[in-house]
Structure 1
């Protein structure tokens, strides 16, 4: 098996740590954030598949933090595939071919080794 080029590895590590993050002002009802009719307990997160994101309530600041999938570009010899399940499993990820032609999910492999 050929070693992974350091440049490609760095790109993939960067992609694993990159995400779309935003704050939304919300109403508070009974100590819970209300976002699009959904109540979220203070300090708790809910994840969804569609849209592929996680939402965390901060009742003190009357905001919900929304974290979604970041942009991703397929490295050479890789293709992008849609994920399944709730966030972050639903994010698109790169599937790459090794020199022995067996596909490997590089994003899943590296995410087991890396925390951001």
Structure 2
């Protein structure tokens, strides 16, 4: 393919892609739903349905996070590598913070195919 034809095809492709992106209707809720989340805890204000926040893990190992409810109670959750965990409303209560703790999570499965165990240690 000659250089002029390659440039023309590339320009046409870019024009079609730009047109398609411009045709996507994004309300503020939709735009926030597709925006990549930063690593760690994030609150959703306003909530998206019943989801009030979440935690994004940007590392390559399993971790344990501790989370705090608005009632003052806490919980722990195992997060797989490069994964996220949504937090949902429980009646009037919601998770207000979550963070990494150094306690090792309980894993199950053979090496190379491990996953989070159902039961996790208290953090």
Bigger radius of gyration among the two? 2
TM above 0.5, one fold? no
- By percentage of residues, which structure has more helix? 2
The structure with higher relative contact order (CA 8 Å, sep 6+) is 1
TM-score range, shorter chain: under 0.3
TM-score scaled by length of structure 1: 0.22
TM-score scaled by length of structure 2: 0.22
